Amino acid sequence: MKILVCISNVPDTTSKINFTDGDTKFDTNGVQFVINPNDEFGLTRAMWFKEKQGATVHIATVGGPSVEPTMRKALAIGADEAFRINAEPTDGFYVAQQLAEVVKNGGYDLVIGGRESIDYNGGMVPGILASLSNMNFINSCINLEIDGNNVTAVREIDGGKEKLSSSLPLVVGGQKGLVEESDLRIPNMRGIMMARKKPLSVLEPVDGLKATEDKKFDKPAAKGQVKLADSVDQLIDLLHNEAKVI
C-alpha cells in the first residue's frame, strides 16, 4: 500500500499572532511553526500502516523553503520521502490542485490529510483533492482500518458517530481520534539523523486557480479589565452593585 500524507506548516498554538501591512498579511516574525495537529494524527496512523502492513509513506507540503524543517520532522517520525511544492499556500482550492498533481503522478492508494488546518480553518482541501483525484472521500475520520482493498472507517457526525465501508483508492480527512494524543511520536535522534538522508524533492507548481484572496484580518477584541475581590462579601457586593448579575 502506498500512502501520501498531506502536511500543513502552521503556527504553534502558543505563538503570539500579529499582522502587518494594515492587517492584510500574517506576521511570521518570532513565530514557531509545527505540523498541523490534524495532519499529525494522520501521519501517525500512516506510520501504523507502515509498521503493521508494510506500507510506503510519503508526505507532501505546499510552501516555500521555510516549511522544510517541519517536513524533516515528519521524515524523522518515519515517513520515507517528501515532496515540497514550491508555492505559497494562500488558497485552499489552489493547494488542492497542487496536491492532486502529486497524487496523479504517485499512484497512491490512500491519501490522508487533516480535516482542517488550525491557521485558516478552511476545511476544504481534502474534499477538493478527492474530487480532483476521482477518489472516495471520508471526512472527520476518527478510526481507519484497511484489509486488502477494503476500508472500514468511523467518522464524527452531529450528535454521534458513523461507521462506513469503502474501497481504495481513498482520501481521508483525519482528526483527533484517528490516533490518540498519547500515540503521537516525538522524533528520536536516530530518526533525526536518518531524516537528513531521506529524499526531499522540490516540485514547481502547476498552473492553478486561486479562487479566494485574504483581504484583511481582525484580531479578537482585547479582554476587559479584571477587578479582584479580597473577600466573599466584596465579591457579592461587586456582582450585585457593579456587574448587576445577581
Q: Which of the four CATH numbers 3.40.109.10, 3.40.50.620, 3.20.20.20, 3.40.50.11270 does domain 2-218 have? A: 3.40.50.620
Q: What one-character DSSP code corresponds to residue 206?
A: P
Burial class (CB in 10 A: 0-12, 13-18, 19+), 220: exposed
Strand bridging mode 2-6 / 56-62: parallel
Q: 138-161 pLDDT, tens per residue? A: 999 999 999 999 999 999 999 899
C-alpha cell at 156: 464524527
Name the pTM for this structure. Answer: 0.87
Tell the burial category of 26 from Cβ atoms under 10 Å away from its Cβ (0-12, 13-18, 19+). Answer: middle
Q: Where are the domains of the chain?
A: 2-218
pLDDT tens by residue, 43-59:
999 999 999 999 999 99
Computed from CA positions of residues 230, 231, 233, 235, in that sequence, does the dihedral angle turn out positive or negative? positive
Amino acid at 14: T
